[in-house]
């Protein structure tokens, strides 16, 4: 009975990998969570993987619960290979299929982290990240396009995004402005 209610169960246990179909589609999903496991940013590139928001958030919860305690860099959950990294109050995840080359996923994760670290002047923490959320969206967009690795060199990413993290964060600005509007 339980087997039917969890449609993904069959994948969950198959760590066996058939030969991988040659393809540029490498990344299944990428997400950034805060230290309570709340989603700050997530992108799912395979429409068949967790099509609904509810499934996505469940997956993220599950991944977070299994990974936030130990900084182990790599995990295998729900039939997916997941590489991850944490920084202060942030958790970065890159998800690929069970058969995916783990090092390719690591290359994506490292590029994401390094780019953000440069952009945020090494202050990779929740508050700075949220204050520069537009830059974060652009960085992710430059690294992965529809599941294809677009760029893996952080230097290149930073150049392409050409974003300056502001000393006076946007949110304050907008707060000030919205106050002056009233």
Partner 1 sequence: MIKKFDKKDEESGSGSNPFQHLEKSAVLQEARIFNETPINPRRCLHILTKIIYLLNQGEHFGTTEATEAFFAMTRLFQSNDQTLRRMCYLTIKEMANISEDVIIVTSSLTKDMTGKEDVYRGPAIRALCRITDTTMLQAIERYMKQAIVDKVPSVSSSALVSSLHMVKMSFDVVKRWVNEAQEAASSDNIMVQYHALGLLYHLRKNDRLAVTKMLNKFTKSGLKSPFAYCMMIRIASKLLEETEGGHDSPLFDFIESCLRNKHEMVVYEAASAIVHMPNCTARELAPAVSVLQLFCSSPKAALRYAAVRTLNKVAMKHPSAVTACNLDLENLITDSNRSIATLAITTLLKTGSESSVDRLMKQISSFVSEISDEFKVVVVQAISALCQKYPRKHSVMMNFLSNMLRDDGGFEYKRAIVDCIISIIEENPESKETGLAHLCEFIEDCEHTVLATKILHLLGKEGPRTPTPSKYIRFIFNRVVLESEAVRAAAVSALAKFGAQNDDLLPSVLVLMKRCMMDSDDEVRDRATFYMNVLQQKQKALNAAYIFNGLSVSVPGLEKSLHQYTLEPSEKPFDMKTVPLATAPITEQKTEIAPVATSKLPEKVAPSRQDIYQEQLAAIPEFQGLGLLFKSSEPVQLTEAETEYVVRCIKHTFANRMIFQFDCTNTLNDQLLQRVLVQMEPSEAYEVLHYVPAPSLPYSQPGSCYSLVRLPEDDPTAVSCTFSCTMKYLVRDCDPNTGEPDDDGYDDEYVLEDLEVTVADHIQKVLKPNFGAAWEEIGDENEKEETFALATVRTLDEAVNNIISFLGMQPCERSDKVPENKNSHVLFLAGVFRGGHDVLVRSRLALADGVTMQVTVRSTDENVVDVILASVG
What residues from 143 to 182 belong to the interface with partner 1 (CB under 8 A)? 145-146, 148-152, 156, 160-163, 170-177, 179
**Of 46, 61, 102, 123, which one interacts with partner 1 (CB under 8 A)?**
102
Q: Smallest gap, in angstroms, from Cβ of residue 38 to partner 1?
A: 8
CA angle 161, 87, 104 (to 5 degrees): 60
Q: In the complex, what is the shortest distance from the CB of residue 116 to partner 1, in angstroms, rounded to a whole number?
A: 16
Distance in angstroms (rounded) separating the CA atoms of residues 90 and 47: 26
CA distance 154 to 115: 5
Burial degree of 169 (CB within 10 A; 0-12, 13-18, 19+): middle
Q: Cβ closer to partner 1: 48 or 70?
A: 70
The least CB distance from residue 28 to partner 1, in Å, is 16
Residue 88 interacts with partner 1 (CB under 8 A)? no
Which of positions 3-32 make contact with partner 1 (CB under 8 A)? 3, 6, 9-10, 12-24
- The least CB distance from residue 126 to partner 1, in Å, is 6
Residues in the chain: 182
Q: How far is CA 127 from CA 39, 111, 150, 170, in A?
A: 14, 21, 27, 11
C-alpha closest to that of 140 among 169, 160, 126? 160
Q: Write down the residue that tokens 């799912």 correspond to.
A: 44
Among 58, 121, 134, 155, binds partner 1 (CB under 8 A): 134
- Contact set for partner 1, span 54-83 (CB under 8 A): 56-57, 66, 70, 72-79, 83
């Amino acid at each position: 009975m339980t087997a039917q209610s969890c449609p993904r169960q069959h994948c969950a246990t198959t760590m066996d990998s058939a030969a991988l179909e040659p393809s540029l589609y490498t990344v299944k999903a990428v997400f950034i969570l805060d230290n309570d496991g709340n989603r700050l940013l997530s992108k799912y590139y395979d429409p068949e993987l967790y099509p609904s928001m509810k499934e996505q958030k469940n997956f993220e919860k599950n991944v977070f619960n299994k990974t936030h305690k130990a900084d182990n860099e790599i995990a295998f959950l729900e039939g997916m290979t997941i590489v991850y990294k944490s920084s202060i109050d942030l958790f970065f995840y890159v998800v690929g299929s069970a058969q995916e080359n783990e090092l390719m996923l690591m290359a994506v994760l490292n590029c994401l982290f390094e780019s953000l670290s440069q952009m945020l002047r090494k202050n990779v923490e929740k508050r700075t990240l949220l204050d520069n959320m537009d830059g974060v969206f652009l960085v992710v967009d430059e690294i992965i396009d529809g599941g294809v690795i677009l760029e893996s060199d952080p230097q290149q990413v930073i150049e392409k995004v050409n974003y300056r993290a502001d000393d006076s964060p946007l949110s304050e600005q907008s707060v000030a402005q919205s106050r002056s509007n009233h």
